[in-house]
Chains A and B, each alone.
Chain A
Amino acid sequence: MARIDLEGVQHSYGNVEALEKFDLTWNDGGRYAILGPSGCGKTTMLNIMSGIIKPTQGRILFDGNDITNLQTADRNIAQVFQFPVIYGTMRVWDNLAFPLVCRNVPSDQIKTKVEEVANTLSLTHLLDRKANKLTADQKQLISLGRGLVRDDVAAVLMDEPLTVIDPDLKFRLRRKLKEINEQYRTTLIYVTHDQNEAMTFAEQIMVMDKGRIVQMGTPGELFDRPSTTFVGYFIGAPAMNVFPATVKQDHQLDVAGTAIDVEPNLQGAASETLKLGIRAEHISLQDDPKSNDNCLPFHVDRIDDFGNYKLVVGKASGQITKVKVDRNQPIASGEMFMTFKAKNCCVYANDRLISTS
């Protein structure tokens, strides 16, 4: 187990910059997710840590030791790939023991460790089976298990490990990963483009876009205070509603002629392009405009019933707006009013969040 620091790391493929220069620390025992759309540099980031790619600039430190120039095999990391990698000719037992056998660990220690890990991963009953006869999720557990048998592993890196797994098994495997993290305090770094996966798995999520780290925070922080409109758009289903706005007063925006109270101080923000962001979950719909909260006229276009909630799609101040409402609330077609609280408003200047303090 170790703390991983990335100092001034930057990477380019030829002339194409895949990762902008950044500094980053992964704390020991943390459970992290790297989230971003395809091609945002998340796999590059992972490969830099595992040593498959040497960064164009910068240093990588494991517990303060510079390991930038070490080969993958010499770094103490384990990696789980998108497709399960197993040694098909071996039994499950030998698969799990393989990393220890390669490191000449005494056989009694191997036995204890393999049995312990097999137990954690519920693979005990499969230990004598040939590895290539197992299902995809069992194989993926073996790949993971090969990382867990080693005591010296600094971090387990996972590159979309659940892509090939059936949805119901995905859920169970994710639980398993959390349990393992709690039991072994292994640093887990998990790359995914599925926000749901990231939100349910990680303590800290790092959102990336176009080679930049956009925001790092807990799932709650990412949901409530997306630091850019991109995060607001990328995290949450549906995406955050965004309205163009101008400054009216220090704590008031003007959205298409309507005054909207917000918490941050807007002094000095007048010259920039302002946007107001509100989550679909933070809006309620009503038939009359009477409210103590912010209120905008809302034109209902379509209602999608998702079973546990209704998603109302409509227009407010000319923008397509999505609102989540209780499925029992009657929604009139046509004109309604949407209300929302000032504390739930996020104000963006040039697509960056203006902080509340």
Chain B
Amino acid sequence: MRYGHKYVFLLPGLLVLIAILIFPVIFTVRLSLSGWNSYNPGLDFVGIKNYVRLFTSDPRFWEAFSRLAFFSLTTVFLQYILGFGLALLVWRDVLFKRFFRVLFLIPMMTTPVIMTVIWKTVFHESLGPVNDFLSMFGLTPLWLSDPMLSKVTVIIVEVWQWTPFMFLLLLAGLLSLPKEAFLAASIDGAGPLRKFIYVTFPLMAPISIGAIIIRLIEASKIMDTIYVLTSGGPGTSTETTSFYIFIKGLREFQMGYSAAMSFTYLIVMILSLTVIVNILIRVFIGRND
């Protein structure tokens, strides 16, 4: 038998893979070695000049990176706690279980950009309902123009938008857990707290790790919320990596430099997510010995 024809069947998939994944990555690497900008567009070769600039004279990129780490870790942590809590609430038989399950999912069904516009209105410092209410107590916090508070605002919006996703994954996980484990714990005389610590939480570990990683990857791409809500401001206090790359690449058209940033971003993300996965496994499942 000759199996030469198998390549014909593999070809469509391979072509799509090359077109949407392999080519862009290689092109980005090549682009990052060029000085392409709006004055002299084109794939010239400038060596590692862009990378030297990135690593030696652009603290703004690295600040954006640490801000990104702060945002994604904080929001995902809060989403996990809230999502798990909500999932536990509607896991067992409670009144209007279905109604609450759907209710908790509503934020996920909305368009993030539109919701962010609405949140921006809600937190508007002089016209928004939040400050309208708080002014009764003599408070008018600068939700969007205070460097610290604007971070909090971004976190609130992100948590509101994405907790339902975490809730959905964790609820699905809870519903798939074997009943016997809980029956056995009841028979052993374990109360609700012991059941959670020794049964629910360990059984949920693989699902938790999966859910957290999915959310971390998603959260690292944070862009639309910041773009609409604060545009990275005030100053650069809410600017994250993707937003900074967007400014450099698509506002200032420093294509070569932004490609270098994108590629660096990719490498750092792969490395840090690998480390995070290992930490999560250690935290949730324990040492492997």
Interface residues of A (CB under 8 A from B): 50, 52, 71-73, 77-79, 81-83, 85, 87-90, 98-99, 102-103, 130, 143, 146-147
Contact A71 B186, beta carbon cutoff 8 Å: yes
Contact A81 B202, beta carbon cutoff 8 Å: no
CB nearest to A73 among chain B residues: B186
- A98/B202 contact (C-beta < 8 A), A52-B183, A81-B183 known: no
Min Cβ gap A156→B in Å is 10
How many residue pairs at the A-B interface have CB separations less than 8 Å? 51
Residue in contact with B180 in the complex, picked from A77, A83, A146, A147, CB distance below 8 Å: A83
Total chain B interface residues with beta-carbon distance under 8 A:
16
Most buried by A among B184, B187, B286: B187
Contact B198 A81, beta carbon cutoff 8 Å: no
A78 to B186, CA, bound (A): 10
CB nearest to A76 among chain B residues: B187
Contact A103 B189, beta carbon cutoff 8 Å: yes
Interface of chain B: mostly helix, strand, loop or mixed: helix
Beyond the given pairs A73-B189, A146-B184, 15 more chain A to chain B contacts, judged by CB atoms under 8 angstroms and listed by A's residue number, are A50-B183, A50-B187, A72-B186, A77-B187, A78-B187, A79-B187, A89-B202, A90-B198, A98-B188, A98-B190, A98-B198, A102-B189, A102-B190, A130-B286, A147-B187
Contact A85 B286, beta carbon cutoff 8 Å: no
A102 to B183, CA, bound (A): 14
Complex A-B: 7 CB contacts under 8 Å = A78-B187, A81-B183, A81-B184, A98-B188, A99-B187, A99-B188, A143-B184
A200 to B186, CA, bound (A): 31
Min Cβ gap A264→B in Å is 47
Tell me if B194 counts as interface (CB < 8 A to partner A): yes
CB nearest to A52 among chain B residues: B183
Chain A residues within an 8 Å CB radius of B184: 79, 81, 85, 143, 146
Chain B residues within an 8 Å CB radius of A147: 187
CB nearest to B184 among chain A residues: A85
Chain A residues within an 8 Å CB radius of B286: 89, 130
Min Cβ gap A132→B in Å is 9
- A146/B188 contact (C-beta < 8 A), A81-B183, A83-B178, A102-B194 known: yes
Chain A residues within an 8 Å CB radius of B277: none
Binary contact track B158-195/A, C-beta < 8 Å → 1, others 0? 00000000000000000000101101101111110010
Tell me if B199 counts as interface (CB < 8 A to partner A): yes
Chain A residues within an 8 Å CB radius of B188: 98-99, 102, 146
